[in-house]
Amino acid sequence: MRNEDVDALKRTELLQREVASQLGNPAVGLARRTRDILEELRNNQLSDPAAERRLESIAAELERLSRDALPQVESSLTQARKLAEQSTRDQPPEELGRELGEAVQEQSAVLESLDDLQQQLAQWRSERDLTQELGNLTRSQREINRDTAELQQSTLSQSKESLAPQEQADLARLAQRQKDQAEQWQLLERKLEEQLRSAPEGEPSPATDALRETIDQSRRQEVAGQMRDASAEIQENRLGQASRTQQDVLKKLEQLAGTLEQKRDEDEATLVKRLDQAQATAHDLGERQESLQEQLQAAQTAPAGQDREEKLERLRQQQQQLREETARLARLLKRSGSQRAGDAAERAGARMNEAEEQLQENDLDDAEREMQEALDDLEQTEQEVAEERREAAERLAEELLEKMADELKAMIGRQQAALDESRRLDGLRQVSGKWSRAQSLSLRQLAENQRNLQQETTAISEKLAPAKVYSLALRGAARAMQKAAELLGNKEAGEPTQKLQESARQRFVDLVEALAAKNQQQNQTGQNEQENDQNEGAASGGPPGDTVTAIAQLKILLTLQREVLERTIELDTLKTRAGHIWSPADQAELDQLRSEQDQLGDLARELSEAVAEQEEDEDDWAEAEPAVEPEETTEELPGFQPTRRGDTSEDADPPRAEPRIEDLPDPE
């Protein structure tokens, strides 16, 4: 190589070290600064989970680049520079080209990751700026509304011509402010449209959906036109009509702000969708890797010759393609914060690279072993992605539950009102012995109200689907409401109806209490952290928030299991009743019970294992007195044994004597 080429390579090596320092310097690097911002956000107790998750993801990716990727680039460049210095102009060593090729590939991967981070940050900043600008416009409109109402008091019952010069000037200024507001809104609409056009294509994004919905809403509601109408009404001193128009505008602006704001609350939903795609990709890569392994096994038995060599070369090329796709998946997973899954995908890619080399050297036995190892790593990747997807879905459900806390509390009161009305009407019937016309009308209205509550409860359960325990509890509440509505429709408001209504109400109480327990523990944890900053080594005083949430869900499962047991006993009693004929409705109830029991068993095992894992990981509070007494968390489910899979020990509790679902008859 020429001396100029060697010098250029040295400069490249120095520039690469500078880049590594800017990213990974432990004191002032980008990764450290991102961690400082995140720590400041948490120390100031600024509740913004979406911002925290995004900053955490960015910091983790910058740290990965500094820890893994950039050192590999520097090593390749250093080795290439040393080889270049030792080479001659006419005969550069073959290793030089390989080292430079590897450096280029590694730099491309780093550049791809940094470019993705830059796009994320740019879009995030634009989204936050637009949200803030809409908030400013909303506040400005609120001030204009207030000034209009104040001016109306002094110009009431006066024509425009009879107003004093100062009052006419005040009208003109206020009208101009409202007109300027319309122009500002149109400018913001254009910015929203530009942001939508610049959004990445082909990728699920609640942010993009929120932008599109905000723009569509604004166009349908003609917000700018209404602002101009209000301005014209102010100009003509029709302040009463102007105030009504302004109130409508303000309401629409608040709705639009809510629509645009929701994108910041749905980052977890985006992550769930990305992990869904990543899981599907990992599964597809595994199937293709298994197919390559089967083709290699077939090629090993084929006779030597040109045809066999061509097949092996095609296999090597296909393995190379799979390796490249697996490397992209690994980078995507790590940028999404899925470190364990990304590591497993990286191992799979390394195994594939080994298989390629073994195929190149015609070492087919070793190539097959490496392919099998790659397949195992891809299966682990898929499992890790599935686990992280489940955790993200649970976090999403917890966020939804917190946002719906007021709605859940309101449902308690509304269901209690329905229950109270059933008791009142049933009391009246017992006194008179029959239903009057007015009481029958009230009963029909109550049945309709109960059906409406059932539909709302079903909708809430669907929103909370990622939180399996909560969703299961609400589906049970909806079924109880539906049965209660049917009984009310048949003019039955007695004890069976009231029992169903109370059961539904209790489900909402359980959810609200579970949410309250989690919030209380989080507040206590925050106080303990502050105290620990002043007194190092102080006990935390209770289990971590995740454990509290799991315990709360286990309590809900206990209640659900008791209900399943009661319904099983009722169905068993019905079965043994003389003269009773097993009906399709009985069979439907039996099928429902079996399904619920299966779900309860699976959920109880998952939660029990989650609590056990969290207890093992949290040594800082293991010796402290638990916030919940053990008997409250280890209480045996009546008629149900939440043992772990494969638990066949003699210490397991023996079966109960209560009726089992399996004892009930199948249809003849």
> What would the DSSP string read from start to end of 138-193?
HHHHHHHHHHHHHHHHHHTT--STTS-HHHHHHHHHHHHHHHHHHHHHHHHHHHHH
Q: What is the pLDDT of residue 82?
A: 84
Let me know if 458 is exposed, middle or buried by CB neighbors in 10 A (0-12, 13-18, 19+): middle
Q: Dihedral angle at the C-alpha atoms of 140, 143, 147, 150, nearest 10 degrees?
A: 160
Other beta carbons within 10 Å of 507 = 29
Residue 611 and residue 547 in contact, taking contact as beta carbons nearer than 8 Å: yes
Q: What is the pLDDT of residues 28-61, one digit of tens each?
A: 888 888 888 778 777 765 556 666 777 777 788 8
Closest of 319, 314, 327, 324 to residue 288, by C-alpha: 319
Backbone angles phi, psi at 256, to 5 degrees: -65, -40
Q: What is the pLDDT of residues 257-292, one digit of tens each?
A: 877 765 544 566 677 778 888 999 999 999 999 999
Q: What is the pLDDT of residue 173?
A: 92
Q: What is the residue type of 277?
A: Q
Q: What is the CA radius of gyration of the chain?
A: 34
Give the C-alpha separation, 331 to 346, whole Å. 8
Q: What is the pLDDT of residues 67-119, one digit of tens each?
A: 888 888 888 888 888 887 776 555 566 777 778 888 888 888 888 878 877 77
Q: What is the pLDDT of residue 657?
A: 45
Give the C-alpha separation, 407 to 125, whole Å. 32
Higher pLDDT, residue 513 or 645: 513
What lies within 8 Å, CB to CB, of 94 at 6+ separation is none
Angle at 246 between CA 241 and CA 250, to 5 degrees: 155
Other beta carbons within 10 Å of 223 = 23
Residue 472 and residue 599 in contact, taking contact as beta carbons nearer than 8 Å: yes
Q: How far is CA 168 from CA 35, 148, 245, 355, in A?
A: 57, 13, 20, 86
Angle at 56 between CA 379 and CA 616, to 5 degrees: 60
Q: Is the dihedral of CA 253, 254, 258, 264 positive or negative?
A: positive
Q: What is the pLDDT of residues 284-325, one digit of tens each?
A: 999 999 999 999 888 888 787 778 888 888 999 999 999 999
End-to-end CA distance of the chain: 89
Backbone angles phi, psi at 456, to 5 degrees: -65, -40
Q: What is the pLDDT of residue 626?
A: 45
Q: What is the pLDDT of residues 368-424, one digit of tens each?
A: 999 999 999 999 999 999 888 877 777 777 777 777 788 888 899 999 999 999 999
Residue 189 and residue 218 in contact, taking contact as beta carbons nearer than 8 Å: yes
Residue 265 and residue 399 in contact, taking contact as beta carbons nearer than 8 Å: yes
Q: What is the pLDDT of residue 658?
A: 47
Give the C-alpha separation, 383 to 145, whole Å. 56
Quick one: tokens of 205? 């994004």
pTM value surpassing 0.75: no
